């Protein structure tokens, strides 16, 4: 499935690789600093999914404000060119940020003009409301019959406390980079290109693997102080990616075959009630998670990367890993083998009126079918997870992520395909 042999391009990468239908690179030259990494834009799949997780994310969901299908197509075409340019370290347009007609706005806003590509990836998705309208009955663009089977309305899970204004949307942009200003610049450029066609519904910033953890190849810690991501699907597991991430030929209805090679993105804003957590004992914390805090080792023994033994019992006959611990409930063996490619980021959005930090995990997971790989797992967690005492899901999103764009010109001009062209062309 993956072009695992693909390397990274230099800063002039688009010129070098733009004409080639290269696969998604997942293995950048480890000698490159984070700022110098450039991931190819073109490929069978969109970048930003199996790409090694960058340090920052800026998510932006948009609502389309037109009913003109041609305008939607034109927007996706503009976004494709912009994404191709920005990810390769180019500015938003050929005149840059400080050239061109003096009495016109510059092509580029300029705040990232001195910054390298910083591993930027831009990933675009389609929400259920793009197909059905926000009222679930307005087929604005003639797309209702092509709604992907997995692009369901997520059920209300026990404990959900969702803010509609921070949930869902017609379109999603996920911009990931190792520099926050580069990610923010990308969202701003795409927002600017959407003027008159779509407007921002919600945005979310997050940070994750920091420089230090990236260098050390250690698993980063979340705001509970625990390592997070130990048992994730890895880019080097092509069978797992085929089974659990990429939509396969024959998945779903014929009318939804346009999503083949794509995937689904589940987003959940999970606020952590940190002040409460911080007053609990180390025993409670490890019991809730099912792992040790220091090493991240399962409480059944071994090291961080030892598989949890959910049946192991202690001398008192009680299970070493609590059946209602997060590790037990989220484990594939508890969920008919369901797995996800997780790509979550920590967020810190100031504080609430009571002075408590509004912080937690923005959970992002890519799955082949949310009905199989996400809903049952979250349903079990929402009902039984001991962690629920310390978290609250405050926003939710589900997007179909179309396949990648196989080819663009070196300057980002289209050569036929664009993001979503399998659906809209």
**Positions 218 through 237 that interact with its own copies (CB under 8 A):** 218, 220-226
Instruction: Give the number of residues in contact with its own copies, rule: CB under 8 A.
Output: 84
Give the per-residue contact string, 162-201, with its own copies (x = CB under 8 A; - = no).
---x------------xxxxx-x--xx--xx--x---xxx
Listed ranges 101-109, 135-143, 145-153, 361-369: which one lies at the site for its own copies (CB under 8 A): 101-109
Sole residue written with tokens 């991931």: 39
Q: Rule CB under 8 A: say whether 52 interacts with its own copies.
A: no
Tell which residue, 20, 405, 24, 82, has the closest CA to residue 236: 24
Q: Rule CB under 8 A: say whether 32 interacts with its own copies.
A: no
Say if CB 234 and CB 366 are below 8 A apart.
Answer: no
Residue closer to its own copies (CB basis): 82 or 380: 82
The least distance separating its own copies from the CB of residue 105, rounded to whole angstroms, comes to: 6
Structure tokens at 267: 């987003």
Q: Rule CB under 8 A: say whether 340 interacts with its own copies.
A: no
Q: Rule CB under 8 A: say whether 105 interacts with its own copies.
A: yes
Say if CB 51 and CB 24 are below 8 A apart.
Answer: yes
Name every residue whose Cβ is closer than 8 Å to that of residue 324 and which is 6 or more positions away in sequence: 384, 385, 386
Helices (H), 207-281: 211-216, 238-244, 274-277
For 388, phi and psi rounded to 5 degrees? -60, -20
Q: Rule CB under 8 A: say whether 282 interacts with its own copies.
A: yes
Q: Rule CB under 8 A: say whether 102 interacts with its own copies.
A: yes
Give the per-residue contact string, 55-84, with its own copies (x = CB under 8 A; - = no).
---x-x-xx---------------------
Structure tokens at 179: 């520099």
Structure tokens at 173: 């942009």
User: Can you tell me whether residue 377 is helix, strand or coil?
Assistant: helix
Give the per-residue contact string, 230-269, with its own copies (x = CB under 8 A; - = no).
----------------------------------------
Listed ranges 98-106, 120-128, 136-144, 251-259: which one lies at the site for its own copies (CB under 8 A): 98-106
Of residues 359 through 418, those in contact with its own copies by CB under 8 A are 359
Listed ranges 12-20, 81-89, 215-223, 315-323: which one lies at the site for its own copies (CB under 8 A): 215-223
Helix axes 180-193, 69-87, angle to 10 degrees: 150
Q: Rule CB under 8 A: say whether 103 interacts with its own copies.
A: yes
Structure tokens at 392: 């609250």
CB atoms near residue 104 (< 10 Å):
8
């Amino acid at each position: 499935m993956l072009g695992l042999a693909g390397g990274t391009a230099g800063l002039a990468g688009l010129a070098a690789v733009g004409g080639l239908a290269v696969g998604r690179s997942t293995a950048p030259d480890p000698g490159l600093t984070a700022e110098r990494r450039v991931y190819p834009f073109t490929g069978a799949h969109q970048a930003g999914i199996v790409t090694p997780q960058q340090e920052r994310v800026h998510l932006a969901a948009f609502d389309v404000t037109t009913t003109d299908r041609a305008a939607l197509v034109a927007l996706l075409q503009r976004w494709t060119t912009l994404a191709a340019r920005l990810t390769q370290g180019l500015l938003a347009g050929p005149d840059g940020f400080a050239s061109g007609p003096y009495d016109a706005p510059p092509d580029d806003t300029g705040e990232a003009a001195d910054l390298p590509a910083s591993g930027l990836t831009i990933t675009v998705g389609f929400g259920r409301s793009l197909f059905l309208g926000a009222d679930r009955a307005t087929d604005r663009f003639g797309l209702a019959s092509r709604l992907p089977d997995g692009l369901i309305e997520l059920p209300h899970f026990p404990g959900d406390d969702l803010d509609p204004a921070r949930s869902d949307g017609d379109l999603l942009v996920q911009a990931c980079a190792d520099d926050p200003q580069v990610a923010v610049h990308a969202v701003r450029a795409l927002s600017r290109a959407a003027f008159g066609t779509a407007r921002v519904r919600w945005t979310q910033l997050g940070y994750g693997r920091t420089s230090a953890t990236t260098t050390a190849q250690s698993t980063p810690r979340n705001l509970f102080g625990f390592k997070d991501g130990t048992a994730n699907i890895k880019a080097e597991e092509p069978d797992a990616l085929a089974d659990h991430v990429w939509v396969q030929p024959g998945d779903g209805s014929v009318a939804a075959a346009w999503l083949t090679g794509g995937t689904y993105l589940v987003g959940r804003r999970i606020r952590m009630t940190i002040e409460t957590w911080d007053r609990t004992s180390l025993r409670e914390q490890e019991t809730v998670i099912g792992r040790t805090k220091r090493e991240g080792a399962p409480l059944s023994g071994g090291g961080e990367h030892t598989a949890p033994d959910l049946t192991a019992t202690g001398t008192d006959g009680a299970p070493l890993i609590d059946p209602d611990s997060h590790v037990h409930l989220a484990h594939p063996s508890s969920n008919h083998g369901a797995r996800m490619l997780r790509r979550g980021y920590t967020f810190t959005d100031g504080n609430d009126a009571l002075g408590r930090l509004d912080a937690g995990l923005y959970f992002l997971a890519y799955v082949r079918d949310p009905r199989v790989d996400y809903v049952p797992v979250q349903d079990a967690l929402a009902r039984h997870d001991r962690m629920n005492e310390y978290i609250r899901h405050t926003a939710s999103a589900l997007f179909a992520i179309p396949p990648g764009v196989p080819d663009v010109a070196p300057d980002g001009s289209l050569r036929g395909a664009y993001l979503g062209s399998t659906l809209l062309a």
